[in-house]
Amino acid sequence: MVALDIDGTLVDHEGVLPHEVRRSVRRVVDAGVPVVLTTGRSWHATRPVFEQLGLPSGPAVASNGAVTVTFPPFQLEQVVTFDPSDVVEKVLREHPTAALAAEVVGQGYRVTKQFPEDELSGVIEEVSVEELAGSDVTRIVVRDPNASDEEFIRLAGRLGLHGVSYFVGWSAWLDIAPEGVNKASALADVVDGLGFTAGDVLAIGDGRNDIEMLTWAGRGVALGDASAEVRAAADHVTAPFAEGGTARELDRWFGTRARRAARELSVLAS
């Protein structure tokens, strides 16, 4: 099975899916190997990439593991939530200028103030802090475009977050999820349902929210432009995204040469 992050792994930071990457993913599909998108994106932001890749019906992991779906047709398989009230209070005490968002699965987000343009998709509803914190959520997103990722790493440390999982993005973006929920935890359920084990999984990613997945998978591969901590968690580091790192890794196993070698081995075995 192949598990693929989306942003920085399948698409660039403008959301563009290179032809070479799509071609390489299609080779995996044509080989009869399941491809599972495994992303921090919400499902409604994941679906367009699923459709661009032309993936067959199957599972996808969204919201850093808090949401698992089957598509098409759409079926919500699992949603894990938590009470965000304590987290919201701590975040705003430590970083009062932050914008907060809570995902509304399959629809969009409720936000305490507007995020930078195009960073969130779907229906965006601005609500009070009290409304945002008043019901269980799949995740809380913390954002401050005037801060840096290093500042948010320090923020996460100051928060002393307990009872939740958290992931700092490539910018001043902090995802807070239910305790123990991450891409690897959701993939473990998906893999079991498909009759595989972690050792059967090739996982590729570039973000801090990919660390658990890369460590868990039989072969975890980081993009060359990932941060040092992400590269350290991987079994292998491929080229940077802009240099075709994702396609290179997939073609290593599913490209023309790989398929020819597999056929030769099959003939020898028979």
pLDDT in tens, 52-106: 999 999 999 999 999 999 999 999 999 999 999 999 999 999 999 999 999 999 8
Q: Are 136 and 84 in contact (CB under 8 A)?
A: yes
The torsion region of residue 136 among left (phi > 0), alpha (psi -120 to 50) and beta comes to beta
Percentage of the chain beyond pLDDT 90 is 84
Instruction: Kindly list the domain boundaries of the chain, sorted by start residue.
Output: 2-79+182-269, 85-178
Helix axes 245-254, 256-269, angle to 10 degrees: 20
Architecture of domain 85-178: 2-Layer Sandwich (3.30)
What local confidence, expressed as pLDDT, does residue 28 receive?
A: 98
What local confidence, expressed as pLDDT, does residue 164 receive?
A: 81
What local confidence, expressed as pLDDT, does residue 261 receive?
A: 47
Determine the Cα–Cα distance for residues 209 and 38; give it in Å rounded to an integer: 10
What local confidence, expressed as pLDDT, does residue 265 receive?
A: 40
Whether the predicted pLDDT of 138 surpasses 50: yes
Find, among 43, 42, 61, the residue nearest to 1 by Cα: 61
CATH of domain 2-79+182-269: 3.40.50.1000
Determine the Cα–Cα distance for residues 165 and 139; give it in Å rounded to an integer: 9
For range 158-168, the mean pLDDT: 81
Distance of CA 126 to the CA centre of its chain: 25
For range 166-183, the mean pLDDT: 88
Check for a shared fold between 2-79+182-269 and 85-178: no
Phi, psi dihedral angles at 183 (to 5 degrees): -60, -40
For range 213-240, the mean pLDDT: 97
- HSE-CB at 179 with a 13 A cutoff on CA atoms is 5
